[in-house]
Chain A
């Protein structure tokens, strides 16, 4: 069952990279290739950092806290960005929720 966006932030939900996705982070940008659809996705600086943390097994809460700290941003703004990013990643089947 897919959690509703707000639940991603309330609980220690984490995600993993879908098995048919290749990715690489270059400094402050990242490239994702979804093999099944043969589509590429690029992530900008904060999104790339969020991706790196999520792909490394960090929970949504941990990711939001880390990014807020690293980018000197309010957690409220980061949570909104992270939610939007996860909606995009899930709809493109680039990540799956960890069981």
Chain B
């Protein structure tokens, strides 16, 4: 058995999980057990009838470049089967405490683990009642800055740049919100980068190894990886690129809408989960500053732009918040409802 602590979960696996770093043996409660070896009679697929999950449905439009996912529920409601379009299949207990891994034919451990370490563990967290954001998290002055954005927003590139500047990277792609005040727990000490980003940063797309044989992304080690949680200090909405770095604080209302759009796996979630996320994220935007960040796309200026961003965030994290409660005299036509 190998023990890990990832996203604040105490994990026990029957085999190594690529990318994770083993920790000392857990002596207390185990949050998630992971089983790769299903030859010993615990294979739920062999004894279970599955039906389409009534609430968890992939609502994304079909994109040939993105693996779709199908969720089923066991006849006794105790397990959820998660099947990707390439055949990788995971059986997750409904309370998120156990995962059985069933690779597709010919799929190696590295490949199947790309699903396990992010979306499948994020589902376990979800089943345990926790909200995750599509975000990376960095420790700056002992507080975590969480950089939120959809795929392609540049989260991992920014994490890599911050790592290079000496800041501790807590997570690369998934950031879990737990407790209040919110504490951000570390994930695993790897950053995943597209080869063209590696080429732009290091001059050679092959400068870093592939995450797995069937995925183009490269795996960069995190130089300074923390083992402990860091209190949330600020949230940054990565909102595209422009010639000059800009950092501006956004209202809690705008921040809430942006964060709801960036809940990890939000395309799968039912109304009950979205209600829980809404409450959790209200608490976030009420407790820390949320800023919108636009930055240069050019990687040659990445270090300078990132250093300037850090300086701006340090100022935002020490500035007292504004409550914005002043009422303005209403004027004809001033009352508005706006669909966003």
| Residue positions of A touching B, CB distance < 8 A | 20, 22, 24, 26-31, 33, 35, 39-47, 49-50, 67, 70-73, 77-78, 80-82, 84-85, 88-89, 92
Tell me the residues in window 297-340 of chain B with beta carbons closer than 8 Å to chain A beta carbons: 323-340
CB distance from A45 to the nearest CB of B (A): 5
For residue B271, which residues in chain A have a CB less than 8 angstroms away from its CB? 20, 35
Check A77/B332 contact, CB under 8 A, given A22-B275, A88-B337, A92-B339: yes
Can you name 8 extra interface pairs (CB under 8 A) apart from A26-B251, A77-B332?
A27-B252, A29-B253, A43-B337, A44-B335, A44-B338, A47-B335, A80-B332, A81-B332
- The A interface, classified by DSSP as helix, strand, loop or mixed, is mixed
Q: Does B260 make an interface contact (CB < 8 A)? A: yes
Tell me the bound Cα distance from A16 to B275 in angstroms.
Answer: 18
Q: Does B148 make an interface contact (CB < 8 A)? A: no
What are the 6 A-B residue pairs with the smallest beta carbon separation, nearest first? A81-B335, A27-B324, A26-B252, A46-B330, A88-B337, A71-B330
* Contact assessment for B338 and A42 in the assembled complex, using a CB-CB cutoff below 8 Å: yes
Check A82/B338 contact, CB under 8 A, given A26-B251, A33-B278, A40-B257: no
Tell me the bound Cα distance from A71 to B11 in angstroms.
Answer: 56
* Contact assessment for B327 and A70 in the assembled complex, using a CB-CB cutoff below 8 Å: yes
Question: Which residue of chain A is the closest to B260 with respect to CB atoms?
Answer: A33
Interchain CB contact (< 8 A) of B330 among A35, A40, A41, A77: A77
Question: Which residue of chain B is the closest to A86 with respect to CB atoms?
Answer: B337
Q: Does B239 make an interface contact (CB < 8 A)? A: no
* Contact assessment for A73 and B330 in the assembled complex, using a CB-CB cutoff below 8 Å: yes
* Contact assessment for B257 and A28 in the assembled complex, using a CB-CB cutoff below 8 Å: no
* Contact assessment for B329 and A72 in the assembled complex, using a CB-CB cutoff below 8 Å: yes
* Contact assessment for A71 and B329 in the assembled complex, using a CB-CB cutoff below 8 Å: yes
Tell me the bound Cα distance from A15 to B328 in angstroms.
Answer: 25
Tell me the residues in window 261-310 of chain B with beta carbons closer than 8 Å to chain A beta carbons: 271, 274-275, 278, 282, 285-286
* Contact assessment for B335 and A46 in the assembled complex, using a CB-CB cutoff below 8 Å: yes
* Contact assessment for A47 and B327 in the assembled complex, using a CB-CB cutoff below 8 Å: no
Q: Does B230 make an interface contact (CB < 8 A)? A: no
Tell me the bound Cα distance from A77 to B337 in angstroms.
Answer: 16
Interchain CB contact (< 8 A) of B251 among A29, A41, A77: A29
Tell me the bound Cα distance from A49 to B325 in angstroms.
Answer: 11
Interchain CB contact (< 8 A) of A46 among B253, B326, B334: B334
Interchain CB contact (< 8 A) of B329 among A39, A43, A49, A73: A73
Tell me the bound Cα distance from A7 to B255 in angstroms.
Answer: 37
Tell me the bound Cα distance from A32 to B217 in angstroms.
Answer: 38
